[in-house]
Amino acid sequence: MPKTALKKEKWTLSFDPALKSAVVKAAKRRGVYPVTLLESLVREKFSPYGHSDVEDSAAYVSSLRKQSRKQSDDAFLDEIETWQKSRSS
């Protein structure tokens, strides 16, 4: 049986020109298409505790370390409790 190709949906989004240029510049710096950059940002926002889509593990760990320096111990424990509650439901 021949495999059927997945059909991609085409979307059109309207952007503020300044935002569009910022996205294009960031995509060029990373060496990816702007769509790929936007998709990865959306995935991060919808899955804040996920790590399966991490592209650059060294940068990810570095950013986690920087964030942990700014966060108090109580806030960290609150975040863990929130995560546990979200996983149990």
> What is the pLDDT, as a whole number, of residue 67?
79
Q: Which two tokens stand for residue 10?
A: 């085409």
Per-residue pLDDT tens over the stretch 24-67: 999 999 999 998 888 888 877 777 666 666 777 788 778 888 87
The residue that leads in pLDDT, 13 or 52, is 13
User: Please, what sign has the CA dihedral across residues 81, 85, 86, 88?
Assistant: positive
> What is the pLDDT, as a whole number, of residue 84?
86
Three-state SS string over 20-89 comes to HHHHHHHHHHHCCCHHHHHHHHHHHHHCCCCCCCCCCHHHHHHHHHHHHHHCCHHHHHHHHHHHHHHHHC
> What is the pLDDT, as a whole number, of residue 77?
85
